[in-house]
């Protein structure tokens, strides 16, 4: 991480800054359908790796598509998330990046909050959850099979597995899941107007306030209880930070994992030889999870921009102070300079420095937990249901429209 800047500058050498009259491409390049990536990303990565784009809101920015350039922008402190929070900067959706959340912070505020919550996601603590996550996955498979002979894998396994784990970690009642699912759906929508998203947020904060009040009256040893203690006894957390961090962990801790469990299952069952390879050799599962994280685009758009705090050379292009830069993680994860034969799923890939969980200070805090959940679900499915297959043609699987995440509406399976 410390050497990203020097590597990028060395790679760019004496290259001249990009011309100011370079083509400006309207974004998004096309409507995301399923798990496909617009071919223009590949063209840009090869021919125009730092491209000028016109976003639907806020004007023009830059888009980087190569792995080395993406790592630089994601990790270099000269690019700031906080500088764009609450501002009408270039962005793919109408919704502004809300100030106060962990993703919208720079150090030292970001460092303080991440240290506070990050202790729950150490590899040792997460690995200690493996038996309970495995038991949950077995129970969900039991219930799915009992209700069979067909099921929606997204609804029967992916969502309840990820929600159950984050509820246990935070100490939230699983029966309340509809409350934060409604908030999550609003937050991730690309179709709802900002006022509706804001209203959903207010309702969710009211729910969190109730949970916080309960823990103030009767302290608990779960993560939310520890956050309340940090707020009240140690003064390491403001009231607003308590709510923003709680919301981010509760929603972010399940939605993306549930999405990728469904997406990965779809890919494995679309080409059933891939699923069969895991049935035959369970030792491939951990490598398969990393390869699927590399290969599978998670979002329909490329997220919020970082703002350059000073002039920076990226891939031979001069990014000027105040300009917005987007990183296409999905395109960077298919960079042939880093991943030989990148369009092929290779579960034995030896070097897999994918950016599926991000990079730098905003690297996904819950990555160890997400990895464990996906590994366990695949281990249990392949062991218990070796004949699992799609119950409809892969081309007939429909994808949810109007969301920031790529996710099947239903994933019909039989066994």
Whether the Cβ atoms of residue 414 and residue 391 lie closer than 8 Å to each other: yes
Q: What is the DSSP letter of 174?
A: G
Cβ atoms within 10 Å of 187's Cβ, excluding its own: 21
3-class state of residue 238 by DSSP: coil
pLDDT along the chain (415 residues), means of 10: 32 38 86 91 97 97 98 98 96 89 90 82 87 96 96 96 89 84 80 82 86 88 82 74 80 87 98 98 98 96 95 97 98 98 96 96 92 97 98 96 91 98
Q: Which domains does the chain have, with CATH numbers?
A: 4-407 (1.10.630.10)
Q: Rounded to an integer, what distance in angstroms lies between the CA atom of residue 232 and that of residue 226? A: 10
Whether the Cβ atoms of residue 322 and residue 101 lie closer than 8 Å to each other: no
User: Which residues lie across from 26 on neighbouring strands?
Assistant: 54
Beta strands in 315-360, from DSSP E residues, in sequence order: 317-319, 324-327
Enter the pTM of the model: 0.89
pLDDT of residue 235: 64
pLDDT of residue 22: 67
Q: Rounded to an integer, what distance in angstroms lies between the CA atom of residue 242 and that of residue 54? A: 36
Whether the link from the prior residue into 28 is cis, omega within 30° of 0, is yes
């Amino acid at each position: 991480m410390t050497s990203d800047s020097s590597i990028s500058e060395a790679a760019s050498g004496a290259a001249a800054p990009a011309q100011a009259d370079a083509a400006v491409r309207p974004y998004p390049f096309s409507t995301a359908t399923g798990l496909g990536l617009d071919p223009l990303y590949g063209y840009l990565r090869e021919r125009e790796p730092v491209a000028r784009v016109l976003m639907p809101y806020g004007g023009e920015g830059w888009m980087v598509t190569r792995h080395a350039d993406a790592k630089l922008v994601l990790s270099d402190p000269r690019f700031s998330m906080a500088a764009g929070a609450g501002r009408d900067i270039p962005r793919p959706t109408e919704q502004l990046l809300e100030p106060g959340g962990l993703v919208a912070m720079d150090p030292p505020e970001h460092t303080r909050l991440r240290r506070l919550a990050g202790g729950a996601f150490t590899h040792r603590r997460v690995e200690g959850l493996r038996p309970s996550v495995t038991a949950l996955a077995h129970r969900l498979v039991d219930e799915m099979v009992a209700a069979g002979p067909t099921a929606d894998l997204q609804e029967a396994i992916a969502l309840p597995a990820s929600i159950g784990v984050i509820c246990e970690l935070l100490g939230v009642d699983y029966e309340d899941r509809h409350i934060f699912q409604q908030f999550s759906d609003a937050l991730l929508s690309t179709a709802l107007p900002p006022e509706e998203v804001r209203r959903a947020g207010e309702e969710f904060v009211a729910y969190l306030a109730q949970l916080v009040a309960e823990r103030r009256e009767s302290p608990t040893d779960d993560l939310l209880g520890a956050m309340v203690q940090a707020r009240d006894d140690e003064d390491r957390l403001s009231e607003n930070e308590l709510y923003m961090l709680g919301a981010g962990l509760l929603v972010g801790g399940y939605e993306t994992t549930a999405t990728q469990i469904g997406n990965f299952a779809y890919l494995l069952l679309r080409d059933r030889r891939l699923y069969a390879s895991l049935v035959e050799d369970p030792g491939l599962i951990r490598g398969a999870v990393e390869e699927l994280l590399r290969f599978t685009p998670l979002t329909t758009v490329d997220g919020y921009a970082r703002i350059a705090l000073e002039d920076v050379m990226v891939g031979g292009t001069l990014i000027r102070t105040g300009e917005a830069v987007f990183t296409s993680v999905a395109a960077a994860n298919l960079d042939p300079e880093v991943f030989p034969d990148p369009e092929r799923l290779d579960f034995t890939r030896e070097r897999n420095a994918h950016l599926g969980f991000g990079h730098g200070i905003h690297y996904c805090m819950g990555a160890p937990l997400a990895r464990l959940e996906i590994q366990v679900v695949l281990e249990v499915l392949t062991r218990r249901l070796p004949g699992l297959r799609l119950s409809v043609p892969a081309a007939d699987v429909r994808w949810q429209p109007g969301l920031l995440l790529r996710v099947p509406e239903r994933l019909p399976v039989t066994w």
